[in-house]
Amino acid sequence: MKIQIIFHSMSGHVYKLAESIAAGAREVYETGGALYQVPELIPQETLVATGAQASRSGSPIFRWQHLSRWSRLMPSYSEHLPASV
């Protein structure tokens, strides 16, 4: 089973939660977990100024096409997908 964790994190706290979920998924036999960040609606300059960009760098941007690759979907933002998705 493959699980994708889609997250939105301004401060980095939800990103850490998403990382923990992915790590837990990887510990289960024949299960994997991958992180995807949602596209951001806030201007890039604001993200850089607040440090939000650095808190999640390295995770690919979520695209709806990714859904076909995975058997489970686990949103990590209040159990719903953020508005930007």
- Per-residue confidence (pLDDT) for residue 84, from 0 to 100: 67
The alpha carbon of residue 30 and the mean position of all alpha carbons in its chain are separated, in whole angstroms, by 21
Better-scored residue on pLDDT, 70 or 64: 64
How much is the pTM? 0.69
CATH number belonging to domain 2-75: 3.40.50.360
**Cα-Cα end-to-end distance for the chain:** 23
Domain ranges of the chain: 2-75
- State the Cα–Cα distance between residues 9 and 14, nearest whole angstrom: 5
- State the Cα–Cα distance between residues 63 and 29, nearest whole angstrom: 27
Mind listing the pLDDT tens digit for each residue in 13-53?
A: 888 888 898 899 889 888 888 888 888 788 878 877 877 66
Specify the DSSP element, H or E, that contains 33: strand 32-37
Q: Nearest-CA neighbor of 7 among 76, 85, 78?
A: 76
Q: For residue 74, name the pLDDT band (cuts at 50, 70, 90).
A: low
